[in-house]
């Protein structure tokens, strides 16, 4: 699971998609609301990674086709 971060997510997302790894790009607001519900108010990279992992484990989001930045749909999950 990746959190949408403007253009930065493509640095990880494109290569993974081309290799066929399933992934989900989350809405940052949903993850932040999830963190607040858990009582997590601090925001660091380490805390964000933990919260995103907990969000993915708890919510089990549906994996849908994503488009790569360069070639439209890469036939990904």
Over residues 45-74, mean pLDDT: 76
Q: What is the DSSP string of the chain?
A: -EE-BTBTTHHHHHHHHHTT----EEPHHHHHHHHHHTT-----HHHHHHHHHHHHHHH-PPP---EETTTEE-S--
Q: What is the pLDDT of residues 3-43, one digit of tens each?
A: 777 666 667 777 777 787 777 778 889 999 999 999 999 98
Q: Is 60 a residue whose pLDDT tops 90?
A: no
pLDDT at site 26: 83
């Amino acid at each position: 699971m990746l959190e949408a971060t403007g253009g930065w997510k493509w640095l990880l997302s494109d290569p993974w998609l081309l290799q066929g790894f399933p992934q989900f790009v989350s809405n940052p607001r949903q993850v932040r609301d999830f963190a607040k519900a858990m009582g997590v108010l601090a925001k660091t990279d380490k805390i964000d990674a933990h919260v995103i992992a907990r969000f993915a484990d708890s919510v089990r989001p549906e994996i849908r086709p994503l488009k790569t930045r360069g070639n439209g749909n890469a036939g990904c999950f």
